[in-house]
Chains A and B, each alone.
Chain A
């Protein structure tokens, strides 16, 4: 699993694929104050990305991958 859920933090690692979108959405429903850890993430498929954008989550840790951060900055802030 590219996303591991730890209490109220969703930790993204490597490439997050299209099939993660639904799980992420369900997890967001159950956790009212979630946080995002994107540190080890290298790519997020557009579908889970949409979920993140719609949920307007605070990002606790931005990806080390700087081009990805540049993209996400515009979407998640």
Chain B
């Protein structure tokens, strides 16, 4: 499912909800013009939205509803119960389609007939008002040729074929005769009816004719479609409905039964564009259907009379009965039916219609539906069959539509987040309790039980945390979407041509990470445009296309989000960077000599570094890449820069997916405990004191044939104490990675690894370098979490 469809589904549900609310409110206050306009707008918008997709059934019904609302809004038709009923039914139908789309059974072709019926029932109300007001119809009413009795032009078919069809008619799956009369203005809607006809599956025979005789060529308007297509196919009815789903009102489909193929009976063959393939010649199948319909009407008539919607129900039943009489060829019964309806309406009782059915109903459905049975049924309370003429019944108020998307305030999620954080901390208290039970109270049994219980709570808490994380996930597109505009504006200002490509916009990460990403990214993009990509003239001179390329790509890689920003600009010249860094005093002469090109390029991250000759409003103030690096590192991310002179620059930001729970290793030093973020820890080793060598003032050790510089934590924290070794005279050493280099930090001892909720230091403490923050441990003590990067560079 595409995101736009998902959005449509969720919006459409909101609209449906508000439409039915407004309808219900209008029932109480039918004169409220503002509410009415509101309702019209909702229906109008929903229709427009549905038009973006391939849902002709939905659009058709909504279009009819919109037309109806527009008439009501203009005051030509009063708001009535009946109108509300029909609109609600139409909205239920739309909800049904939405449900199907949601579940992926996105056909809709099966609903062509229902959508036609609903659209007609809505339009019927418009016709009523226009008939009364003697005004013109707002648009071509759907009473196409499909409604009129159709004579199959069998004389046009070769005799041999006809004989074969008669044979086929005896088989279970009859051939279908399709009469397709395109709308006169169909060319202006971009339709090609001939193409449509040719694409019909399973064509056996075909003919093109015209609805009227051709005028002289001079008077011919080629853009008024007057064609008629006749075709016979062996495709199934459902396939044909699907094929003609955009133009069902222009198509009549007649099954080629023996009756319809027999010229003597053919004249009687009538086609109903309405519900189902029911209407063919009056045959045995018809009368059995009529019987069913009559039985259903009898049940409906037997329902209690004392309801507000009785008139609507009576009218519906009467029109169903009228349709039954017509299809059974008993038009003579119609006047008496109307009289019965009028009587029923005035007396507000179903009885007159019931009497009419008992008297006449059996006439057009002879054998089984005897008046006795049909009138006996309603008295039987156990029968509660839904009215089959109303396929959408039961979707009214009782059924709660399944909503797939919830809109939740951000604050609530944040609260859940901090609650689960506390839960994790509280949970971590249980192992301490277990240890106390054993060591202090000496109850080993209880200690074990607490540990088992802890394992269960731990699992649930972890799953819960994971679930909340999922909720907080946001696609990076939220940050990315501002770049097209930004790039356009800046490149205009600089007179550069830049083609921006965004990739992986649906990559997800925690909301906080995404938010933290916004500013650094803007900075990087500005830098790229300002320093990286050259002007068109320079690019052409360098043999590159005049238009520079800037690619921002997001991807996910084992628990981290990677954001690559690459351009094909002039790249970073290590020589220039070295010289600038030297001039600004960032590096000294010795460094200048031995630094590699790659290291030189990374000098751009040093504080106060700027290569731009002049200060512009875009960059060049020296608050550049170091700000980016700090911002990214604040959320435990890292930045890597690679650049090739003349070819371009590539920056890779690597960020954690989420930052709520931090995995830290607890270490001990000078009788205090500290936390060190696990993602910095490469390994832990115990090194014999004798292996430590001093080079100048610095202690080092050779670890796996590499020299590893050592610092003691006490020294880093400015405590004048030697680190404590264990009984074998080994020093506990934490090997950490800082800016791509390994460093051994000597501590007193290692403890366990724990998950903590890291709280940044607030207030005055915020300015204290060397710490990332603090966290509460399970036993209630506070753990200070070190920031080794700051600790080492700050020294």
Q: How far is A24 from B766 in the complex, measured between Cα atoms in Å?
A: 83
A contact residues around B582 at 8 Å (CB): none
Q: How far is A55 from B203 in the complex, measured between Cα atoms in Å?
A: 27
A contact residues around B194 at 8 Å (CB): 43-46, 49, 71
Contact A46/B214 with A51-B222, A70-B206 known, Cβ cut-off 8 Å: no
Q: Are A29 and B217 in contact (CB under 8 A)?
A: yes
- Contacts of B215-261 to chain A: CB distance below 8 A: 215, 217-218, 220, 222-223, 225-227
- Contacts of B363-402 to chain A: CB distance below 8 A: none
Which residue from chain A places its CB closest to the CB of B230 in the assembled complex? A74
Which residue from chain A places its CB closest to the CB of B191 in the assembled complex? A46
- Give chain A nearest CB distance to B144 CB in angstroms: 17
- Contacts of A10-44 to chain B: CB distance below 8 A: 18, 21-22, 24-25, 28-29, 43-44
Q: Are A47 and B195 in contact (CB under 8 A)?
A: no
Q: Are A71 and B198 in contact (CB under 8 A)?
A: yes
Q: How far is A46 from B226 in the complex, measured between Cα atoms in Å?
A: 10
Q: How far is A72 from B210 in the complex, measured between Cα atoms in Å?
A: 13
Which residue from chain A places its CB closest to the CB of B182 in the assembled complex? A46
Q: Are A74 and B207 in contact (CB under 8 A)?
A: yes
Q: Are B217 and A50 in contact (CB under 8 A)?
A: no
Which residue from chain A places its CB closest to the CB of B219 in the assembled complex? A54
A48 interfacial by beta-carbon distance below 8 Å: yes
B contact residues around A22 at 8 Å (CB): 222
Q: Are A46 and B187 in contact (CB under 8 A)?
A: yes
A53 interfacial by beta-carbon distance below 8 Å: yes
Q: Are A25 and B208 in contact (CB under 8 A)?
A: no
Sample 22 A-B pairs with CB under 8 A, ordered by A number. Answer: A18-B192, A21-B223, A22-B222, A25-B220, A46-B193, A46-B225, A47-B187, A47-B223, A49-B194, A50-B226, A50-B227, A51-B220, A53-B210, A54-B217, A56-B214, A70-B206, A71-B194, A71-B197, A71-B198, A71-B208, A74-B208, A75-B208
Q: How far is A29 from B217 in the complex, measured between Cα atoms in Å?
A: 8
Q: Are B208 and A18 in contact (CB under 8 A)?
A: no
- Give chain A nearest CB distance to B160 CB in angstroms: 15
A contact residues around B222 at 8 Å (CB): 21-22, 24-25, 47-48, 50-51
B285 interfacial by beta-carbon distance below 8 Å: no
Q: Are A43 and B195 in contact (CB under 8 A)?
A: yes
B209 interfacial by beta-carbon distance below 8 Å: yes
Q: Are A54 and B214 in contact (CB under 8 A)?
A: yes
B contact residues around A45 at 8 Å (CB): 192, 194-195
Q: How far is A43 from B210 in the complex, measured between Cα atoms in Å?
A: 19
Q: Which 7 A-B pairs have the closest CB atoms?
A: A75-B208, A21-B222, A46-B194, A54-B214, A74-B207, A46-B193, A51-B222
Q: Are A25 and B217 in contact (CB under 8 A)?
A: yes
Which residue from chain B places its CB closest to the CB of A45 in the assembled complex? B192
Which residue from chain B places its CB closest to the CB of A17 in the assembled complex? B192
- Give chain B nearest CB distance to A21 CB in angstroms: 4
- Give chain B nearest CB distance to A31 CB in angstroms: 11
A contact residues around B217 at 8 Å (CB): 25, 28-29, 54-55
Q: Are B225 and A47 in contact (CB under 8 A)?
A: yes
Q: Are A46 and B198 in contact (CB under 8 A)?
A: no
Q: How far is A50 from B182 in the complex, measured between Cα atoms in Å?
A: 13
- Given pairs A29-B217, A43-B194, A55-B217, 20 additional interface contacts (CB within 8 A): A25-B222, A45-B194, A45-B195, A46-B194, A46-B195, A46-B227, A47-B225, A48-B222, A49-B208, A51-B222, A53-B210, A54-B215, A54-B217, A67-B198, A71-B206, A71-B208, A74-B156, A74-B208, A74-B209, A75-B209
- Give chain A nearest CB distance to B305 CB in angstroms: 54
B contact residues around A68 at 8 Å (CB): 198
Q: Are B198 and A43 in contact (CB under 8 A)?
A: yes
B632-664 to A contact mask, C-beta < 8 Å, 1/0: 000000000000000000000000000000000
Q: How far is A28 from B217 in the complex, measured between Cα atoms in Å?
A: 8
B contact residues around A46 at 8 Å (CB): 182, 187, 192-195, 225, 227
B contact residues around A43 at 8 Å (CB): 194-195, 198
Q: How far is A72 from B209 in the complex, measured between Cα atoms in Å?
A: 10
- Give chain B nearest CB distance to A25 CB in angstroms: 6
- Give chain B nearest CB distance to A20 CB in angstroms: 9
Q: How far is A71 from B220 in the complex, measured between Cα atoms in Å?
A: 22
Q: Are A54 and B198 in contact (CB under 8 A)?
A: no
Which residue from chain B places its CB closest to the CB of A50 in the assembled complex? B222
B543-566 to A contact mask, C-beta < 8 Å, 1/0: 000000000000000000000000
- Give chain A nearest CB distance to B228 CB in angstroms: 10
B contact residues around A71 at 8 Å (CB): 194, 197-198, 206, 208
Q: How far is A43 from B192 in the complex, measured between Cα atoms in Å?
A: 11
Which residue from chain A places its CB closest to the CB of B222 in the assembled complex? A21
- Contacts of B146-166 to chain A: CB distance below 8 A: 156
Which residue from chain A places its CB closest to the CB of B213 in the assembled complex? A54
A contact residues around B206 at 8 Å (CB): 70-71, 74
B contact residues around A18 at 8 Å (CB): 187, 192
Q: How far is A13 from B223 in the complex, measured between Cα atoms in Å?
A: 21
A contact residues around B215 at 8 Å (CB): 54
Q: How far is A21 from B223 in the complex, measured between Cα atoms in Å?
A: 8
Q: How far is A29 from B219 in the complex, measured between Cα atoms in Å?
A: 11
Q: How far is A26 from B194 in the complex, measured between Cα atoms in Å?
A: 22
Which residue from chain A places its CB closest to the CB of B193 in the assembled complex? A46
Most A C-beta atoms less than 10 A away, residue of B182, B194, B210, B220: B194
B contact residues around A29 at 8 Å (CB): 217-218
A contact residues around B156 at 8 Å (CB): 74
Q: How far is A67 from B217 in the complex, measured between Cα atoms in Å?
A: 28
Q: How far is A43 from B195 in the complex, measured between Cα atoms in Å?
A: 8
